[in-house]
Structure 1
Amino acid sequence: MARLAAFDMDGTLLMPNHLLGEETVRTLNRLRDERQITLAFATGRHVLEMRHVLSKLSLEAFLITGNGTRIHSTQGDLLHRQDLSPEAAQRVIHGQWDTQASMHVFNDTGWLTEFEVGEMLNAHVYSGFSPKIVDVKRIPADEVTKICFCGLHDDLLRLKIQLDEALGGRAFLCFSAVDCLEVLPVGCNKGAALNVLSKHLGLTMKDCMAFGDAMNDREMLSSVGHGLIMGNAMAQLKEDLPHLPVIGHCNKQAVSHYLTHWLDTPNLTYSPE
Structure 2
Amino acid sequence: MARLAAFDMDGTLLMPNHHLGDETLRTLNRLREERQMTLAFATGRHVLEMRHILGTLSLEAFLITGNGTRIHSTEGELLHRQDLAPEAAEIVLHSHWETQASMHVFNDTGWMTQNEIPELLRAHVYSGFKYRLTDLKRLPSHQVTKICFCGDHDDLRRLKIQLNEALGDKAFLCFSAVDCLEVLPTGCNKGSALNVLSQHLGLTMKDCMAFGDAMNDREMLSSVGHGLIMGNAMAQLKADLPHLPVIGHCNKQAVSHYLTHWLDTPNLTYSPE
- TM band (smaller chain): over 0.9
| Structure-1 residue corresponding to 2:191 | 191
- CA distance in 2: counterparts of 1:113 and 1:90, whole angstroms: 16
Residues of 1 paired with 2:272 and 2:86: CA distance? 45
Q: What is the alpha-carbon distance in structure 2 between the residues aligned to residue 233 and residue 216 of structure 1?
A: 11
Shift of 1:142: 0.4
| 1:206 alignment partner in structure 2 | 206
Where does residue 236 of structure 2 map in the other structure? Answer: 236
CA deviations 1:219-245 (Å, max 9, x no partner) are 000000000000000000000000000
Aligned partner of 1:77 in structure 2 is 77
Taking the TM superposition and a 5 Å limit, the aligned residue runs for 1:31-110 are 31-110=31-110
**Cα deviation 1:28-86 (Å, max 9, x = unaligned):** 00000110000000000000000000000000000000000000000000000000000
For residues 140 and 73 of structure 2, the distance between their equivalents in structure 1, rounded to whole angstroms, comes to 27
Identity, in percent, stands at: 84
Unaligned runs of 5+ in 2: none
Structure 1 stretches lacking a partner, 5+ long? none
Q: Tell me the amino acid that sits aligned with residue 138 of structure 2.
A: R
Aligned alpha-carbon RMSD (Å): 0.4
Deviation at 1:172, TM superposition (A): 0.1
Partner of 1:15: 15
1:72-221 aligned at under 5 Å gives the runs: 72-221=72-221
Aligned to 1:249: 249
Aligned length: 273
**3-state SS in 1 of match to 2:161:** helix
In 1, distance between residues paired with 2:266 and 2:115? 48
- The amino acid of 1:171's aligned partner reads A
| Partner amino acid, structure 1, of 2:226 | H
CA shift, 1:115, in A, is: 1.7
SS in structure 1 at match of 2:99: coil
Q: Helix, strand or coil: the match of 1:149?
A: strand
* Structure 1 segments (4+ residues) deviating >6 Å: none
The answer to whether residue 24 in structure 2 is matched with residue 24 in structure 1 is: yes
One-letter identity of the residue aligned with 2:150: C
- CA–CA distance in structure 1, aligned partners of residues 59 and 183 of structure 2: 30
**Distance apart, 1:117 and its partner CA:** 1.8
What is the TM-score when the length of structure 2 is the normalising length?
A: 1.00
Displacement of 1:138 in angstroms is: 1.1
In the TM superposition, residue 169 of structure 1 has moved relative to its aligned partner by 1.2
Distance in 2 of aligned mates of 1:133 and 1:266: 50
SS of the aligned residue for 2:236 comes to: helix
Distance 1:120 1:24 in 2: 25
Hey, what's the Cα distance between the residues in 1 that align with 2:169 and 2:35?
42
DSSP 3-state at the match of 2:197: helix
User: Structure 2: which amino acid aligns with 1:138?
Assistant: R
Query: What TM-score, normalized to structure 1?
Result: 1.00
C-alpha separation in 1, matches of 2:117 and 2:200: 37
In structure 1, C-alpha distance between the alignment counterparts of 2:139 and 2:33, rounded to whole Å: 44
